[in-house]
Amino acid sequence: MKKILFILLTIIAPAIGFSQNKVKLIIDAGHGGNKDPKDAKSKYGDKESDFCLAFAQALYDYAKENNIDAVMTRTKKNQSLTFDQRSGYKSEPGVKTVYISFHFHAETAPNIRGAEVWYSSKTPNANTSKKLAEKLKASFERLNDYDVFIRDKEAVVFSKNDMPAVIIMGGYLTNDTELKHFKDEGYQKEMAVMIVKAVNEL
């Protein structure tokens, strides 16, 4: 089913009209570096920051393949960024600019699973951010066949970026089924396709 969904998305993506509106993605791979105490880990030692970078890179690559301008805040595993270094981006006139940040959860109970999409209702772009979150929720639910929750949160990357912004909490490193998905490059690209489609539809 997932393979069929991906094929359909790949077929319709060029027809959505990426070139009709100039789009730019600011893509943030959460965490990074070797001394981040909040960098979650699986029981096998897999690091949240590495998956953040893998999903960010997949989104960046897919955007570039479709002639969409994209910038990554972090490009290396050992790169450590402050919140200020991840923030402060400005929209350009006539360019639909969106900020996407990747993160993952971890819990002690291995059965807990599920993605979330965060946005902030306390920013000038709150309505567009919420609309994007709703589109991503619907897409991710079709991909994973479970409920995805939208959370209204405060974060530096929301308050200091002059554009619609969401944080994608991709799921739980502590759930073996989800962890297997995170390691799958095909799954990473499926997520990228869905994100680009959702942004284009804003």
Q: Residue type for 169, please?
A: M
Query: Helix or strand or coil: residue 65?
Result: helix
pLDDT one digit per residue (tens) for the chain, 202 residues: 455 444 444 444 443 333 456 999 999 998 987 777 788 899 999 999 999 999 999 999 999 999 999 999 999 988 989 888 898 999 989 999 999 999 999 999 999 999 999 999 999 999 999 999 999 999 999 999 889 999 999 999 999 999 999 999 999 999 999 999 999 999 999 999 999 999 999 9
Q: Which two tokens stand for residue 126?
A: 């709150």
Distance between CA atoms of residues 149 and 115, nearest Å: 7
CATH number at residue 87: 3.40.630.40
Note whether residue 161 is domain-resident: yes
pLDDT of 176 reads: 96
- As a whole number of angstroms, the longest Cα–Cα distance in the chain is 47
Domain membership flag for residue 37? no
Domains of the chain: total:
1
What does the alpha-carbon distance between residue 195 and residue 15 come to, in Å, rounded to a whole number? 15
Residue 124 in domain: yes
**Does any domain span residue 143?**
yes
Residue 39 lies in a domain: no
Full domain range(s) for residue 191: 22-32+48-200
Q: Angle at the Cα of 57 (from 106 to 89), degrees rounded to 5?
A: 90
The residue count for the chain? 202
Question: Is 43 among the domain residues?
Answer: no
Task: Identify the pLDDT of residue 8.
Answer: 45
Q: Does a structural domain hold residue 7?
A: no
Residue at 108 is within a domain: yes
Which of 118, 80, 112 is CA-nearest to residue 99?
118
* Dihedral angle sign, alpha carbons of residues 3, 9, 10, 11: positive
